Structure 1
Amino acid sequence: MNTLLSVSQDIALGKDARMFFKVAAYLFLLSVVGGLTDFLTLSYTSLVIVLTIPALYERFEEHIDRYVMMGYRKLHQLYVKLDVECVSKVRKWILEKQKLS
């Protein structure tokens, strides 16, 4: 309990900005979802998801893991490609600004 309170205090005082933004994003997402539905519907849907997802994963674990790894590889390739393109554009932009100066 003390650890939870300590982390909460660090977030509130701004000592852990990254965690603050994560908490803010999750609270925003929760408020958006809560605004779209009422509490009872959200509770029933959450209960169904919490009870079925682990059973489905246990049954189809090999297939799910294979597709998740394929998706991870494709996202990683896309990230690397995007990173390389953005970095090269930023470098070109910086060089152009230096030439103009």
Structure 2
Amino acid sequence: MVAIFVWFRTGWLINWNPPDVDEIMLPESTCRSIFTKVNWFLLTFYDISSGDDFRLFFLAICSLWVISVIGTFVSTMNLFFIVVLCMETLPNLYGRHQNEVDNVAIKVYRQLNNFYKNFEHTVLDKIPRGPVKEKRFH
């Protein structure tokens, strides 16, 4: 959109004719790809908001809380700088120390899985649940 706008506004400088809007077409594969991604995104939001998968709902709540905590302590520009710095350095460090990082990641995953099982056993299993009604989609 921006490229077409700039083309319309500055095309007279270099004698370029603006494009005909009726001739601009997207291939069907591109439209299907975009639709598939948007559909997946909406279904994921629906799954989170419906509460069918409590683990996903809990993960979404925790992620939003972590983002809000980070946002209170770090400005947007500093956060952008940190993200760019990590994108430049972390792949190289992972390539050098792949085995050690994988071992630590496996240990952390197991500890988080045990923590979630304990949390589920001590807190979530004590929440009373009513009878489950079958959903009907028309």
In the superposition, the TM-score normalised over structure 1's length comes to: 0.61
Question: Which residue number in structure 2 is paired with residue 8 of structure 1?
Answer: 45
Displaced runs of 4 or more, over 6 A: none
- 1:51 Cα deviation from its structure 2 partner: 1.3
- In the alignment, which residue of structure 1 is the partner of 2:92? 55
TM superposition shift of 1:64: 3.9
Q: In the TM superposition, what are the counterparts of 1:68-87 in structure 2 within 5 Å?
A: 68=104, 72=107
Distance 1:28 1:50 in 2: 23
In structure 1, stretches of 5+ residues that fail to align are: 84-101
Partners of 1:62 and 1:20 in 2: how far apart? Answer: 32
RMSD of Structure 2 on Structure 1 (CA):
2.6
SS at match of 2:52: coil
Q: Could you tell me the TM-score, scaled by structure 2's length? A: 0.46
Aligned to 2:57: 20
1:53-73 Cα distance to aligned partner (Å, 9 max, x none): 11011123345446x27x829
- Between the two proteins, the alignment pairs up a number of residues equal to 75
Q: 1:52 to 1:9 in 2, by over 3 A?
A: same
Which structure: larger Rg?
A: 2
Matched to 1:61, the amino acid is Q
